């Protein structure tokens, strides 16, 4: 391994915000693992693009709600890329848009298994590799939260609650590992133009934009820029922060 090599895992890195983070990180010199659950084609396209431009990237399939698959993911990255220095917990699901009273218990449970326990599992493995208590060299973790944590989400109550939990998790963990060489922060995107959102209703789209002081939707690239700043040494005195990337909303 090269001295000072930066190795990053981006969970849910095959599309949307995750793919923008992976691509930008590679341009900034990171060796990147693009984690995916089922989007094999998209993940490999990103990896091929990075490698064709002289970067270093691999794709690794893993369902982050499974501790066994998460452990395998981290072992694979360590073997193929080297010691981990950064983690972006990005993989997540919104679940069905439905009133809480209509949701099946299994649907509620699955949202928290992915959005909360998945972050816990990945972070646990990252800390075990980066913490000075485990003879690691330190590192940085960024959790992708959501403005839904503060403002709620229409018929997305479990999703909003899971993201609020991530904000609390970020602050608590940052205090726990601050003397072990690890910084932990979160980015809280507002309404971002990805395939997760349906903007086919033109009137609804205009009304949404009116709620955003800056007057437009954000882009995955803008979220990626915030994430990469928090991972960088330029944010060396920042930990426990939840950074809104929401156009002033």
In DSSP notation, 10-27 reads ETTTTSHHHHHHHHHHHH
Q: Is residue 220 scored above 70 in pLDDT?
A: yes
- Domain holding 43: CATH number? 3.40.50.720
Distances (CA, A) of 135 to 74, 80, 238: 17, 20, 23
Domain that holds residue 131: 6-245
Residue 232 domain-assigned? Answer: yes
Residue 192 domain-assigned? Answer: yes
pLDDT for the residue numbered 2: 63
Q: What percent of the chain has pLDDT over 70?
A: 95
Please tell me whether residue 75 adopts helix, strand or coil conformation.
helix
Residue 179 domain-assigned? Answer: yes
Residue 236 domain-assigned? Answer: yes
C-alpha span between 212 and 181 (Å, rounded):
37
Q: Is residue 105 scored above 90 in pLDDT?
A: yes
Residues 157 and 149 sit within 8 Å (Cβ to Cβ): no
Q: Sheet with 242-245: list strands edge to edge.
A: 56-61, 30-36, 6-10, 86-89, 139-144, 182-189, 242-245
Residue 115 buriedness (CB in 10 A; 0-12 / 13-18 / 19+):
buried
> Tokens 């509620």 appear where?
108
Q: Is residue 28 scored above 90 in pLDDT?
A: yes
Please tell me whether residue 242 adopts helix, strand or coil conformation.
strand
For residue 36, give every residue at least 6 positions away whose Cβ sits within 8 Å of its Cβ, in sequence order, or none.
12, 13, 14, 42, 43, 59, 60, 61
Mean pLDDT across the stretch 107-131?
98
Residue 20 domain-assigned? Answer: yes
C-alpha span between 199 and 183 (Å, rounded):
36
Mean of all residue pLDDT scores within the chain: 95
Residues 80 and 51 sit within 8 Å (Cβ to Cβ): no
Residue 1 domain-assigned? Answer: no
Active-site residue 159, yes or no? yes
Residues 175 and 217 sit within 8 Å (Cβ to Cβ): no
Compute φ and ψ for 171, nearest 5 degrees: -65, -45
Residue 239 domain-assigned? Answer: yes
Residue 237 buriedness (CB in 10 A; 0-12 / 13-18 / 19+):
exposed
pLDDT for the residue numbered 211: 85
Mean pLDDT across the stretch 223-231?
99
pLDDT for the residue numbered 167: 99
C-alpha span between 7 and 137 (Å, rounded):
12
Per the structure, the count of domains in the chain is 1
Q: Would you tell me how many other CB atoms lie within 10 Å of the CB of residue 104?
A: 10
Out of 36, 119, 121, 159, which one is annotated catalytic?
159
Q: Is residue 196 scored above 90 in pLDDT?
A: no
Q: Is residue 247 scored above 70 in pLDDT?
A: yes
């Amino acid at each position: 391994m090269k001295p000072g090599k930066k190795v990053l895992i981006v969970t849910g890195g095959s599309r949307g915000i995750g793919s923008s983070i992976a691509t930008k990180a590679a341009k900034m010199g990171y060796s990147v693992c693009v984690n995916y659950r089922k989007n094999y084609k998209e993940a490999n396209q990103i990896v091929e693009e990075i490698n064709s431009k002289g970067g270093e990237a691999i794709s690794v399939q893993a369902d982050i709600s499974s501790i066994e698959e998460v452990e395998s993911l981290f072992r694979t990255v360590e073997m193929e890329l080297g010691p981990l220095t950064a983690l972006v917990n990005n993989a997540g699901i919104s679940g069905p848009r439905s009133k809480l009273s209509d949701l099946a218990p299994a649907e509620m449970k699955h949202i928290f298994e992915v959005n909360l326990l998945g972050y816990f599992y990945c972070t646990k493995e990252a800390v075990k590799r980066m913490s000075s208590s485990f003879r690691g060299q330190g590192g940085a973790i960024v959790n992708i939260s959501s403005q839904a944590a503060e403002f709620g989400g229409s018929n997305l109550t479990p999703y909003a609650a899971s993201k609020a939990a991530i904000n609390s998790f970020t602050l608590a963990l940052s205090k726990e590992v601050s003397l072990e060489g690890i910084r932990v922060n979160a980015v809280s995107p507002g309404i971002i133009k990805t395939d997760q959102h349906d903007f086919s209703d033109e009137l609804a789209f205009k009304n949404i934009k009116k709620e955003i002081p800056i007057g437009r939707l954000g882009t995955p690239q803008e979220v990626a820029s915030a994430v990469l700043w928090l991972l960088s040494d330029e944010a060396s005195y920042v930990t426990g922060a939840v950074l809104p990337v929401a156009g002033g909303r």
